[in-house]
Structure 1
Amino acid sequence: MIKIGLFCASGMSTSMMVKKMIKAAEKRELGVEINAYPESSLAKVLDEGIDVVLLGPQVKFKFPSLKALCEPKGVPIDVINSLDYGMMNGDKVLSAAIELMENK
């Protein structure tokens, strides 16, 4: 099971994306666990175990500091494509997360 975490300012705006991604995963019959969190909880979530971190476009300015938390634990991190996020394209964001994990 792949654990994917979406992080934004409060964890609220990504919850819609999580629902879209879960629907896309169900269609593909993929075993994934996808959750939304506020970016301030990243260190705790990393300690609990996660495979991929995706940041909402609204917090992309925090990428360097959050990447510094993820790298030592070997967890890949990236910012969600703004267009895919705006269009709530859960399938594309899910594909990006899986590709990120496979290429770590």
Structure 2
Amino acid sequence: MKNIMLVCAAGMSTSLLVSKMQKAAQEQNLEADIYAIAESEVEKVLGAKSVDVMLLGPQVRYLKGSFETKYKDKNIPIDVINMSDYGMMNGENVLKQALNLIG
């Protein structure tokens, strides 16, 4: 089971992307818990569940450095979602990005 957290300003704009990523995961017979949250919820969620990768929506890319510093001890790969994949809601490519980061 892969746990993929998407972070955006309010947790709303990435919900369609989550649906597309879940569909891509199903097509690949991949068990994945993929969800979107608001950046204000990150600390609470990380305290409650394990996360394999954190992907930031382009609108919150400025948080990458501070999140990497703040959550360094959790060893979670953190990256910004490719802007064109985000804009096109390309769930397959974003899932691929997440899986590459997990390794």
- 2:14 alignment partner in structure 1: 14
Give the number of the structure whose residues are more often helix, by fraction: 1
Give the Cα separation in 1 of the matches to 2:96 and 2:4: 11
- 2:31 alignment partner in structure 1: 31
Q: Structure 2 matches for 1:85-100, cutoff 5 A?
A: 85-100=86-101
Give the Cα separation in 1 of the matches to 2:82 and 2:99: 14
TM-score in terms of structure 1 length = 0.94
Divergent runs of 4+, >2 A:
none
Q: Note if contact 1:5-1:36 (Cα within 8 Å) is conserved in structure 2.
A: yes
Query: RMSD between aligned alpha carbons?
Result: 0.8
Q: Note if contact 1:70-1:77 (Cα within 8 Å) is conserved in structure 2.
A: no
Q: Note if contact 1:18-1:35 (Cα within 8 Å) is conserved in structure 2.
A: yes
TM-score in terms of structure 2 length = 0.95
Query: Which runs of 5 or more structure 2 residues have no equivalent in the other structure?
Result: none
Give the Cα separation in 2 of the matches to 1:69 and 1:29: 33
